[in-house]
């Protein structure tokens, strides 16, 4: 009789706002804690914090893919956001590097469980374009990062308790905004379900047919799975892309001390803010998105090549950070869109696929974080300061070549697999 409508745009912007606020908190603490730990202990222990964070994300993403119905409940998503904020706040009171790494694992667990849920609810706003959803999500993240990096340069570094108190407040705000958006979406779906149940009571035969179709769709989604190599290519990208988070934070104090440690991060975020949405609008077909994946790897290669050639110049760090920002502009939203389109095509559980995607992304971040610290220490021991950048440039060039045909063919083979 009366139709309940959902204001999709309003709820999407509630989610974007929450993500932007939390991203500001992340940008505020990350360069400071990594840099301080590197100076106080070593590059390895600085990397162990990000490694622990991503180990927690791997565990959380794995649990989310195994138990999507539980992980995607609104209270679970908000609770896991709060877990991340509390674990980070506790880091302000820790003196040992191993303790910082342990609490980073707890923070990562909350992140790994909550972020796929965020994407899951965004994709429920079906009247909004998927490409626009993910490009705006990336845009919101970068807005928050710019604010956080700028704030990190203003707050005195010895006031880490204040830093992590601000971080806790940002995650509480994020959790509340997410909860408001998720409850509105769930309420709308509940109303739609009631309307469907009323129709099914009158058409029991049709209901059985729908159930049969759903069973068939489920069987098809079980048969059609993206290949392991496709997921691993995602892990490799983020393994390389996370290097500067460690590499720049350790490189700047030693080789370009006149440059603030947070400067390349906020400049990169500004570039993403300026170009993310206009660039993402250029990708419509799957072919365009695969081209963007290759551009992402190419940008990584050029960035690492700059650091290899001129490692002792502050301008090089800035140029490399800009190129890295373009790598993320091209790669991140396009991979999200391809994953969501694949889930729609084979009637797979979108939340489960997003959790699996984040699992491999977190594996890449975890491996890259630890490798970044170890490579930096190794480069100093061997008195070859550019060896880490050379290895990264070589690996990125290999992925540029593979992303020309190999990675797209893996995706198309899975999508077009014959169904029985």
Mind giving me the DSSP string for 177-237?
Answer: HHHHHHHHHHHHHHHHHHHHHHHHHH-HHHHHHHHHHHHHHHHHHHH----HHHHHHHHHH
Amino acid 169: pLDDT: 96
178 band by pLDDT with thresholds 50, 70 and 90 = very high
List C-alpha distances in Å: 294 to 195, 324, 337.
45, 13, 15
Asked if 108 and 54 count as a contact pair (C-beta separation under 8 A), the reply is yes
* Burial bucket for residue 254 (CB in 10 Å: 0-12, 13-18, 19+): middle
Tokens 């690492």 belong to which residue?
A: 304
Q: Which of 23-27, 280-284, 301-305 has the lowest mean pLDDT?
A: 280-284
Residue with tokens 């979406």: 185
Residue with more model confidence, 4 or 329: 329
pLDDT of residue 420: 40
Q: What is the DSSP string of 6-37?
A: --HHHHHHHHHHHHHHHHHHHHHHHHHHHHHH
What pLDDT, on a 0 to 100 scale, did the predictor assign at position 216? 41
Tell which residue, 170, 192, 132, has the closest CA to residue 21.
Answer: 170
Q: Is the pLDDT of residue 124 over 60?
A: yes
Are 25 and 36 within 8 A, CB to CB?
A: no
Mean pLDDT of 237-241: 89
Which tops the pLDDT comparison, 159 or 209?
A: 159
**Cβ-count burial of 288 within 10 angstroms (0-12 exposed, 13-18 middle, 19+ buried)?**
middle
211 or 407, greater pLDDT: 407
Whether residue 303 has pLDDT greater than 90:
yes
- pLDDT interval class at 86 (50, 70, 90): very high
Element (H, E) at 417: none
Q: Could you tell me what percent of the chain has a pLDDT over 90? A: 22
Comparing 22 with 283, the larger pLDDT belongs to 22
220-225 average pLDDT score? 50
- pTM, rounded to two decimals: 0.68
Per-residue model confidence (pLDDT) at position 201 = 60
How high is the pLDDT of residue 157? 56
Q: Report whether pLDDT(220) > 90.
A: no
Q: DSSP readout, 68-102?
A: HHHHTSHHHHHHHHHHHHHHHHHGGG--SHHHHHH
Q: Which of 15-24, 54-63, 151-160, 343-352 has the highest mean pLDDT?
A: 15-24
C-alpha dihedral sign at 110, 113, 119, 120:
negative
Say yes or no to pLDDT of 167 above 90.
yes
As a whole number of angstroms, the longest Cα–Cα distance in the chain is: 78
The arithmetic mean of pLDDT across residues 103-120, rounded, is: 89
What is the reported pLDDT for 55? 87
Q: Of 11-15, 196-200, 371-375, give the range with the top mean pLDDT.
A: 11-15
Please check the confidence at residue 21 and state whether its pLDDT lies above 90.
Answer: yes
> Whose CA is closest to 234, among 107, 367, 374, 145?
367
DSSP 100-158: HHHHHHHHHHHHHHHHHHHHHHHTT-TTS-HHHHHHHHHHHHHHHHHHHHHHHHHS-TT
Q: How far is CA 166 from CA 54, 140, 262, 296, in A?
A: 22, 19, 17, 33
What pLDDT sits at residue 215? 47
Residue 361 near residue 144, CB atoms below 8 Å: no
Cα gap 62→360, rounded to integer Å: 9
Name the 3-class secondary structure at 418.
coil
Residue 221, pLDDT score? 42
- Classified as helix, coil or strand, 159 is coil
pLDDT over 90 (residue 180): yes
pLDDT per residue over 314-337, tens digit each?
899 899 989 998 998 899 888 888
Picking from 95-104, 187-196, 206-215, 273-282, which range would have the lowest pLDDT averaged per residue? 206-215
Query: What share of residues in the chain are helix, strand, coil (percent, to 5)?
Result: 85, 0, 15
Overall average pLDDT of the 397-405 stretch: 90
Residues of the chain with pLDDT > 70, as a percent, come to 88
Cα distance between residue 364 and residue 359, in whole Å:
9
Residue 173's pLDDT is what?
95
CA distances from 252 to 31, 123, 260, 367, 415 (A): 11, 39, 8, 22, 45
How high is the pLDDT of residue 49? 86
Q: Flag whether pLDDT at 172 surpasses 70.
A: yes
Q: Between vectors from CA 406 to CA 328 and to CA 55, what angle results, nearest 5°? A: 50
What average pLDDT is seen over the chain?
81
């Amino acid at each position: 009789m009366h139709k309940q409508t959902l204001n999709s745009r309003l709820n999407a912007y509630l989610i974007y706002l929450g993500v932007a606020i939390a991203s500001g908190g992340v940008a505020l603490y990350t360069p400071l804690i990594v840099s301080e730990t590197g100076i106080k202990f070593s590059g390895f222990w600085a990397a162990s914090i990000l490694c622990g964070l991503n180990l927690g994300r791997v565990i959380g993403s794995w649990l989310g893919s195994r138990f999507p119905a539980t992980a995607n409940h609104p209270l679970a998503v908000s609770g896991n956001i709060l877990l991340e904020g509390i674990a980070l706040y506790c880091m302000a009171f820790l003196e040992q590097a191993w303790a910082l790494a342990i609490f980073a694992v707890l923070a990562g667990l909350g992140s790994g469980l909550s972020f796929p849920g965020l994407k899951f609810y965004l994709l429920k706003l079906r009247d909004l374009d998927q490409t626009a959803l993910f490009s705006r999500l990336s845009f919101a993240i970068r807005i928050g990062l710019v604010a956080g990096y700028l704030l990190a340069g203003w707050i005195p570094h010895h006031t880490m308790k204040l830093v992590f108190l601000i971080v806790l407040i940002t995650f509480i705000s994020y959790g509340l905004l997410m909860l408001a958006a998720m409850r509105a979406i769930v309420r709308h779906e509940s109303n739609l379900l009631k309307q469907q149940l009323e129709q099914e009571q009158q058409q029991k035969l049709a209901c059985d047919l729908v159930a049969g179709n759903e069973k068939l769709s489920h069987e098809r989604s079980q048969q059609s799975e993206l290949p392991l190599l496709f997921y691993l290519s995602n892990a490799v990208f983020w393994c390389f892309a996370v290097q500067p988070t460690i590499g720049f934070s350790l490189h700047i104090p030693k080789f370009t001390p006149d440059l603030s440690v947070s400067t390349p991060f906020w400049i990169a975020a500004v570039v993403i803010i300026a170009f993310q949405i206009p660039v993402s609008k250029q990708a419509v077909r799957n072919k365009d998105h695969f081209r963007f994946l290759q551009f992402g790897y190419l940008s990584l290669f050029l960035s690492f090549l700059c650091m290899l050639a001129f490692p002792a110049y502050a301008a090089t760090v800035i140029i490399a950070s800009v190129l890295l920002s373009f790598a993320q502009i091209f790669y991140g939203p396009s991979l999200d869109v391809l994953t969501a389109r694949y889930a729609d095509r084979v009637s797979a559980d979108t939340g489960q696929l997003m959790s699996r995607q984040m699992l491999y992304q977190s594996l890449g971040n975890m491996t890259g974080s630890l490798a970044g610290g170890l490579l930096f220490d190794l480069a100093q021991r061997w008195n070859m300061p550019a060896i880490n950048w050379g290895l990264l440039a070589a690996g990125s060039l290999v992925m540029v070549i593979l992303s020309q045909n190999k990675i797209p063919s893996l995706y198309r083979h899975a999508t077009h697999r014959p169904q029985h």
